[in-house]
Structures are given as C-alpha cells and as structure tokens.
Amino acid sequence: MDMSFTPEQEAFRNEVREWIQSAMPAHIKAKAEVDGNFDPKETKLWHQTLHKKGWIAPHWPKEYGGTGWDTARRFIFSEEVELAGAPQLSPFGLVMVGPLIIQFGNEKQKQRFLPKILSAEEVWCQGYSEPNAGSDLASLQLRAEDGGDHFILNGQKTWTTYAQYADWIFVLARTDPKVKKQSGISFILCDLKTPGVTVKPFLTTGNTYAFCETWFENVKVPKENLIGELNQGWTYAKALLGHERTALAGIGGSSRTLLRIKRIARDTLQNGKSLLEDPLIRGKIAQLEIKLESLKMANYRAIAASQLGHAPGPESSILKLRGTEIQQECFDLAMLVMGHNSLSWFNDPGIVPPREQWVASTFNYIRAATIYGGSNEIQKNIIAKLILGLPSA
C-alpha cells in the first residue's frame, strides 16, 4: 500500500494553495493570517467563493455538483484549506445531510435541497442529541406522530450548533415507540420557520453562543420530508456518523495550531530569551508533532484504502479519537506558552499582540471535541469490539 503522494498530487496541492491565496477576500485573509474568528457572513462569503470555483463539495458525486476528485485530492484540498486558516464551513449541509440525501433521498428531494446547500442559499443544522440522549442516541424521545399527510413533531433537541443561523434542521425522531429503540427512528427534514419551532442559543464556557436548545411543539412537517424509509433512520444516522468522524481528525487545523504555538513561543520573552529556546517548551512541541505525524500516517492509510474502494469503517473511530485529543492538546500547549496573556477571552489588541486572538475561547470550545460526533469513550468501545475483537462489556 503506497501512502506517499505522487508528483501529480503534489502539483495539485500547489494549485490549491495558490488559488486559496488569490481567491480569499482581503478582509477574510487578514483574519486568517492572525487566526481570527469569522462571523457567519464571512463564512458564507467564503462558501460562495468556493461554490463559484466549483470546489464547494469535493466529496459529492460529480453529477450533483462535486469535483470528481479522488480521495487523495479531496484530502489534500481539505488540508490546505485548514492550513490557510480559512473560515471553517458548516458541515451540516455539505458533509452530513447533503450526502445522505444523495444516497437515500428521492429525485424530488435531491432537486429541492442539493442546489441550495451548494450555493449556501439554505443553511442547515443537526438535530440528534437530546437532554437525555447524547452518547446513547437511540434513547431519543422527540416524537413524530402520524398526522395524515404530515408528521407532528413534539420534543426537544440540544447542542444544535448554530441553529440560530440555520434555515433547516435534520432530525432523528421516534416514529414507532412500540419496537426496540433503534428500530422506531426516522430521519426527517424540518424547516425552522415552521410554526411551533423555538430556537434558543445558550452561552458556552468559551463565551460564545455556539450551541442552542431547539423545541418542537405540534410542528407539522410534510411526509415528503422523510428521507428514505420510515423507521430506518438509525441506519442512515450510522452512515452519516462514519463520514463525520473521519472528518473530525482535523489534521490541517492541528498542523496550523502547532505553527501558531511556535510563533507564540518565539514572540514571548522569558528572562530576556525567546520561550522557543526553553528546552521544556521545545520538548512539549516535539512530542505533539510526533503524535500529529502518527495521526497523519493513520489518516493516509485510510485514504489509501479508500482509493482501493474501501468505505470508512471502524478506523474512523481511531481518527476521531486521536484527532480530537490532539486538538485539545494543541490548545493546552497554546495556553501554556501564552501564560497570563491567555486569560483574556478574545485577546483584544490592547491586551496582547493581536496576532493571538481567541486562544482562550477556542481552548474552552474544543473541550467539546471529544464529546461531539460520538464521545471518545464510545469510540474506544467501537475500536475494542470491531478492530481488536474484544467482547462487549
């Protein structure tokens, strides 16, 4: 199995890198250079820039607006976008519900929803978790009762990321309470403007309103918004989560954060010397780089296997597990090297050099990385059972 990139693939990397630098709007590039935070309008503008180029959905089939790239080129593109510090696009339409509609939706649903996902005309959020159904997602209680030509939704979803900016939500809802819990769940699309839907953002420990609680009170959803077959939502959700977990490795993002740590350490003086000269700091950076290189090799193996036609399997749990742990370790180290300067949420220019914004906020937000997409404890169970072959506890 060849895990190196070919000269053609490296040439493609250079093409992507050069295009990003030339196409990124000036005010977005200025924020990217200092690892700033992007507001929804800036993220949407970057989305539209990629869409105009035809690069917005590299992993979609070409007939639905994809690029036709192979797995290696898709990985290279994703890595370069992360390394450039570009706005992180919402995954809910492009990575999650879009591919699911392509795989399980009917032709009418594809024509209705896919073009507006690609163009960012409609923004999506995810309705999976509930107050008492997180890692044990199959225990969800949002009800979708039969109302004739529509479903009637009643219940609550939580951790609905950026639902306050979304137009649509895809939910897992219980359509048959009489069968075992995994068997009575359906996958339904809901317009957030429908009467009875209430979205309430709440403050995170990162001092941002990234998450929301979403309530459904007698919400009428047309049955034509059911994806696939009734009561088969659990099967569709598992297919979606496999792709989500592979993407959560975040190698490009962690690589950029490591470069940022080195920059912070270089610019921070301690007893008249750059902190980058401190053997303890250099050792911590080296340890983190070794871990990241190991994760890269695991990701390259998954890419090489995918090139041979193997869909993401339980190895996606390894990538999610180690990738999110490394993301957290990166910001642990960033906080350490910034010292007392890390204690300001958004690091206004008057407090610390403006090049180091949002470290404390991201440090707090990234605590959730080992929970969302399936907690890392669950990923360890998957690895033990499906890769190591150990019996279930």
| Nearest residue to 373 (alpha-carbon basis) of 96, 172, 141 | 96
Looking at CATH, the fold of the domain delimited by 248-387 is given as Butyryl-CoA Dehydrogenase, subunit A; domain 3 (1.20.140)
pTM for this model (two decimals):
0.85
- Yes or no: say if 10 and 73 are a contact pair by the CB < 8 Å rule: no
- Single-letter amino acid code for the residue at 337: V
Instruction: Say whether 158 sits in a helix, a strand or coil.
Output: strand
**So where are the chain's domains?**
7-89, 124-231, 248-387
Predicted local distance difference test score (pLDDT) of residue 360: 86
Give the model confidence (pLDDT) of 251-298 as tens digits.
888 999 999 899 889 988 888 899 999 999 999 999 999 999 999 888
Partner residues linked to 152 by β-bridges:
145, 220
Give the model confidence (pLDDT) of 37-96 as tens digits.
889 999 999 999 999 999 999 989 999 999 999 888 988 998 899 889 999 999 999 989
If pLDDT is split at 50, 70 and 90, which confidence band does 308 have? low
* Domain formed by 124-231, architecture: Beta Barrel (2.40)
Residues with a catalytic annotation lie at 244
If pLDDT is split at 50, 70 and 90, which confidence band does 352 have? very low
Q: What are phi and psi of 67, to 5 degrees?
A: -95, -20
Give the model confidence (pLDDT) of 193-251 as tens digits.
999 999 999 988 878 888 999 999 999 999 999 999 999 999 988 777 665 655 667 88
- Single-letter amino acid code for the residue at 21: Q
| Nearest residue to 170 (alpha-carbon basis) of 249, 261, 256, 104 | 104
Phi/psi region, residue 271 (left: phi>0; alpha: psi -120 to 50; beta: rest), is: left
The H or E element containing residue 91 is helix 91-91
Give the model confidence (pLDDT) of 9-24 as tens digits.
999 999 999 999 999 9
